[in-house]
Amino acid sequence: MLPLTGITVVALEQAVAAPFATRQLADLGARVIKIERPDTGDFARHYDQAVHGLSSHFVWLNRGKQSITLDLKQPQAQAIMHQLLSTADVFIQNLAPQASQRLGFGAETLRHANPKLIVCDISGYGSSGGPYQHKKAYDLLIQCEAGAVSITGSAEQPAKVGIPIADIAGGMYAYTGILAALYQRQATGEGCQIEVALFEALAEWMGFPAYYSGYSGQNLPRTGLQHAAIAPYGAFDCADGQVFLAVQNQREWQQFCGGFLRRPALIGQPEFATVSQRVANRQALEALINQHTRNLSLDETLAQLDALGIANARLNSVLDFWQHPQLAARGRWSSVMSEVGPIQALLPPVNWSNFTPAMQGIPALGAATQAILQELGYTQTEIDTFKAQAII
């Protein structure tokens, strides 16, 4: 039995943040009913066609869910939605600001009808005031406002983070917030309202740069693959690739100079004697290291650094990561079904000793509509009428 067996989640969701939260609830055994627009569905279905014709975003975020199509602008569809919510345990939504309230699905209304319901609203900047309350908020926009872009990239050019970290952060806090609310409900019998703002979620992740800049009065510099306060730390050229290495204390510095560079005299050389001096003379130090590593293959470099206990990594591409031997050795890959056949999927990063995550299939648009409506008591004639009127 999975931990969330018997829990029903109704998700009025799109894009990344809410789907990321609900996918994890589905992996733990919750029944997740995903509400989608007739004909088009979640717009993340159409971002690309990379996975045998399916969108990579949608495949990543939506396994284990039941898709039902409802045109929530129509009263009959709203009535069906309220039926679903009357017995649900969790309702989560990440529509545009105030959109769910305008449709009649505000937390106060829903919890009055179903006091045990946990309502989770995900927004860009929060719904309780502030000059940004009604502002549209996509992941990159949140990255910009939270300062993440300003500390990412090279000294010359800022860059966005390559994955949607604001959405992922928001989804993670929604997921953990829902788990906490379910646990609290066991004691109180009452649901609650949860609000997660993407800006505030990413603000938490900006902790170290925020404290550094807020108390020093200086913006954290962009350093690319280097570290602002540690050297050597970054990418270095080998004969057939690049190695990333990090030397973080004096003991490692001594090992690095004597064992790897074969230049023990560097240990006490004044311009490299301390971390701060190595940072100040980074350019000269990196030239010395590159001069040595360019004569070694990547495999030779990694083997020598590993033997000395010096932290290192390959600068893998995403395709390299996809084939990473560590994932294969630890059995991290599973297979889930979809409308186009089986698709590889990574297991959740938490390993439980007493159960295996559900890892169910990726739903086709509206695949569960018929079954769910019949479960709610609608006849085939009524369902056919709903289809004819584009309600479903």
Give the CATH number of the domain where residue 258 resides. 3.30.1540.10
Residues 181 and 48 in one domain: yes
Residue 224 lies in a domain: no
Q: What is the pLDDT of residues 205-249, one digit of tens each?
A: 999 999 999 999 999 888 888 888 899 999 999 999 999 999 999
Domain check: are 349 and 201 in the same one?
A: yes
Query: Is residue 227 assigned to a domain?
Result: no
Quick check: is 370 in a domain?
yes
Q: In sequence order, which residues have a C-beta less than 8 Å from that of residue 346 and are 6 or more positions away?
A: 327, 332, 333, 334
Residues 45 and 92 in one domain: yes
| pTM to 2 decimal places | 0.92
- For residue 97, name the pLDDT band (cuts at 50, 70, 90): confident
Is residue 263 scored above 90 in pLDDT? yes
Amino acid making up residue 111: R
pLDDT band with cut points at 50, 70 and 90 for residue 268: confident
Structure tokens at 364: 């086709």
Residue 79 falls within a domain, yes or no?
yes
Q: Choose the weakest-confidence range: 218-227, 236-245, 270-279, 374-383.
A: 218-227
Residues 241 and 164 in one domain: no
What tens digit of pLDDT does each residue of 136-182 get? Answer: 899 999 999 999 999 999 989 999 999 999 999 999 999 999 999 99
Which pLDDT score is estimated for 243? 96
pLDDT at 227 (0 to 100) = 86
Dihedral angle of Cα 21, 26, 32, 38, to the nearest 10 degrees: 70
Give the pLDDT mean for 249-274. Answer: 94
Tokens of 202: 């990413």
Q: Are residues 138 and 38 in the same domain?
A: yes
How high is the pLDDT of residue 274?
92
Instruction: Give me the pLDDT at residue 364, please.
Output: 98
For range 244-256, the mean pLDDT: 94
pLDDT of res. 223 = 87
Q: How many domains does the chain have?
A: 2
Q: Say if residue 351's pLDDT is above 90.
A: yes
Contact by Cβ (8 Å): 81, 117: no
Residues 301 and 348 in one domain: no
pLDDT given for residue 98 in this prediction: 86
Say yes or no: 140 and 261 in one domain.
no
Neighbours of 24 (CB within 10 A): 24
Q: Which two tokens stand for residue 226?
A: 């280097």
Torsion angle in degrees (nearest 10) through CA of 21, 23, 25, 31: 130
- Residue range 54-77: mean pLDDT, rounded: 97
Is the same domain home to 67 and 163? yes
pLDDT of 136 reads: 87
How much is the pLDDT for 226? 87
User: Considering the domain boundaries, does residue 2 fall inside one?
Assistant: no
The per-residue pLDDT for 228 is 81
Q: Please say if the pLDDT value at position 84 is more than 90.
A: yes
Whether 172 and 303 map to the same domain: the answer is: no
Backbone angles phi, psi at 163, to 5 degrees: -120, 160
Same domain, residue pair 125 and 181: yes
User: Which residues 6+ apart lie within 8 Å of 105 measured at CB?
Assistant: 12, 81, 85, 91, 93
372, pLDDT greater than 90: yes
Q: Is 258 domain-assigned?
A: yes
Cα distances from 245 to residues 30, 43, 127, 238, 344, in angstroms, run 42, 41, 44, 12, 31
- The residue written with tokens 């090992």 in the block is 255
Listed residues 276, 292, 316: the one ending a domain: 316
Q: What is the maximum alpha-carbon separation in the chain?
A: 87
* pLDDT single digits (tens) 50-65: 999 999 999 999 999 9
**Domain contains 215:** no
Tokens at 211, concatenated: 């404290």
CA 377, CA 392: separation in Å to the nearest integer? Answer: 15
- Regarding whether 161 and 32 lie in a shared domain, the answer is yes
Cα separation of 106 and 111, whole Å?
A: 9
CA distance 114 to 104: 14
- Whether residues 289 and 344 fall in one domain: no
- Percent of the chain residues topping a pLDDT of 70: 100
Last residue of a domain, one of 316, 348, 371: 316
- Cα torsion 198, 138, 193, 181: sign: negative
Query: pLDDT tens digit string along 314-345?
Result: 999 999 999 999 999 999 999 999 999 999 99
Contact 305, 225 (CB under 8 A): no
pLDDT of res. 129? 82
Give the number of other CB atoms < 10 A from CB of residue 360. 16
Last residue of one domain, picked from the residues 316, 335, 357? 316
Domain of residue 118: give its range: 8-207+327-388
CATH of the domain at 159: 3.40.50.10540
pLDDT attached to residue 57: 97
Q: Tell me if 213 is assigned to some domain.
A: no
The DSSP symbol for 51 reads B
